[in-house]
Amino acid sequence: MTWMQYLAPLLKGAQVTVMISLASIFFGVILAFAAGIARTSSNRFVSGLAFVYIVLFRGTPLLVQLFWFYYALPLVGVSFNLITTGIMTLALLTGAFGAEVVRGALLAVPPAQLEAARALNFSKTYTLWHIAMPQAIIEMMPPFGNLAIQNLKDTALVSLISIADLTFQAQSLRNITLNSARVYTLTLLGYFLIALCLMFAVRFIEMKLRRGPAFPRSAHS
């Protein structure tokens, strides 16, 4: 087989990898904001629930999580298809790590600004979304960029539950051709190019945020 003949199955797997990675990053970011904001809540139940979620998923291996959702959860009558299982597990893990990024960025907002918001009788919700969050989200971007790359690399594990991603296709191709050098060289390049695109995307978003106004205009302006 020529180099070009290896590309078709690997590109097919790369499409699955990109889809799983982007979907799990999207849902993971939503979970990160929800859990991160919950961790800063004065409500002990809400904060405690977020803490349990974060500790549980940060403290257990992704591979074991995948196997639990794929093999153990169906035993109690709850099952998902392969792709959903992969996306859900990766999103939960990304959300758990991202929650601490959100929490840390929110706590780093100067207290004087929050005190000024209280003095002006702004609600907690308004203060969070119009004063704290616009500043915090800029500081979140570099760590979120790292999480996105880590998420992409973690997608390789979904091949172990038979999802036909880039790693799964590479292993199948290698078993057929017995040419490890070509297969895994192209696989490495594939992951590298996808990671490069993710890095540029995150950097672009960060630059756009930094060029924007520090605070959005409010209805009181």
End-to-end CA distance of the chain: 67
- Is 84 in contact with 161 (CB distance < 8 Å)? no
Considering the chain, what is the average pLDDT of its residues?
A: 89
Percentage of the chain exceeding pLDDT 90: 63
The whole-number pLDDT of residue 216 equals 46
- For the beta carbon of residue 54, count every other beta carbon within 10 angstroms: 23
The whole-number pLDDT of residue 121 equals 79
Helical axes 133-154 vs 180-211, angle rounded to 10°? 180
- Indicate the pLDDT class of residue 1, thresholds 50, 70 and 90: low
The whole-number pLDDT of residue 104 equals 93
191 to 25, 154, 195: CA distances (angstroms): 16, 11, 6
Q: Alpha carbon 156 to chain centroid distance?
A: 14
Could you read off the pLDDT of 182-216 as tens digits, one per residue? 899 999 999 999 999 999 999 998 888 887 654 44
The H or E element that residue 24 is part of is: helix 3-39
Distance CA 157, CA 204 (A): 28
- Is 131 in contact with 114 (CB distance < 8 Å)? yes
Residue 79 pLDDT greater than 80, yes or no: yes
Name residue 42's amino acid.
Answer: S
110 or 147, which is more confident: 147
Residue 164: which residues within 8 A CB-CB, separation 6 or more?
Answer: 12, 13, 16
The H or E element that residue 103 is part of is: helix 82-107
125 or 149, which is more confident: 149
Percentage of the chain exceeding pLDDT 70: 94
- Indicate the pLDDT class of residue 111, thresholds 50, 70 and 90: confident
What number does CATH give the domain 3-211? 1.10.3720.10
Distance CA 31, CA 52 (A): 14
Q: What is the pTM of this model?
A: 0.88
Could you read off the pLDDT of 22-52 as tens digits, one per residue? 999 999 999 999 999 999 988 999 999 999 9
Distance CA 93, CA 114 (A): 31
Quote the DSSP letter at residue 53.
H
The whole-number pLDDT of residue 127 equals 84
